[in-house]
Amino acid sequence: MAARSSPVAAPAAASACRPKPGPLASAPDLVRLKRRAEFLNAAKGKASARGAVLIQQTPAPPDTPFMRVGFTATKKLGGAVVRNRCKRRLREAARLVLPELGEGGQDYVFIARSGCADRPWERLLDDVRAALRGLKGGGDPPRAPRPLKPPRKGGRS
């Protein structure tokens, strides 16, 4: 038998390890956002925060009739294990809820907030539904920018 690292065995070993298409790949009307520019563009649109999720929405490019969706979790939430769990849960919630409440031709970005990893599943689904309904109603009002802190006394100039 050939070693796994041999040129003969490597293609066979690699084909056995190929990932199966994910849940979003099987849904024809959902496409993943992957580039940073797409996420930054979504941040310019409407946003709605409910419970453990914040959802941003913006119109997709004109030639895109389907929904595009992206997921993110900041390092504030915890280590890689926690962030990945949050994103997996949000992907599944989007797969279940977006077909009923999302609009075609829109980009959505799901941002995990604190408690997303531990939130009971039904409550997380309710948060996603409420946030999507909030987007249909115009989104949350924009937050006022934080005031600048006054300069420190006696410190560096």
**Per-block mean pLDDT, blocks of 10 residues, the chain (157 long):** 56 50 54 92 92 93 89 94 95 93 91 94 94 83 69 67
- At residue 17, the pLDDT reads 46
- At residue 18, the pLDDT reads 46
In terms of DSSP H, where are the helices of 19-101?
A: 23-26, 36-43, 80-101
**CA–CA gap between residue 48 and residue 102 (Å, rounded):** 13
Model's pTM, two decimal places? 0.72
Domains of the chain, CATH where assigned:
31-136 (3.30.230.10)
- Residue in 67, 85, 83 with CA at minimum distance from that of residue 75: 83
- At residue 155, the pLDDT reads 60
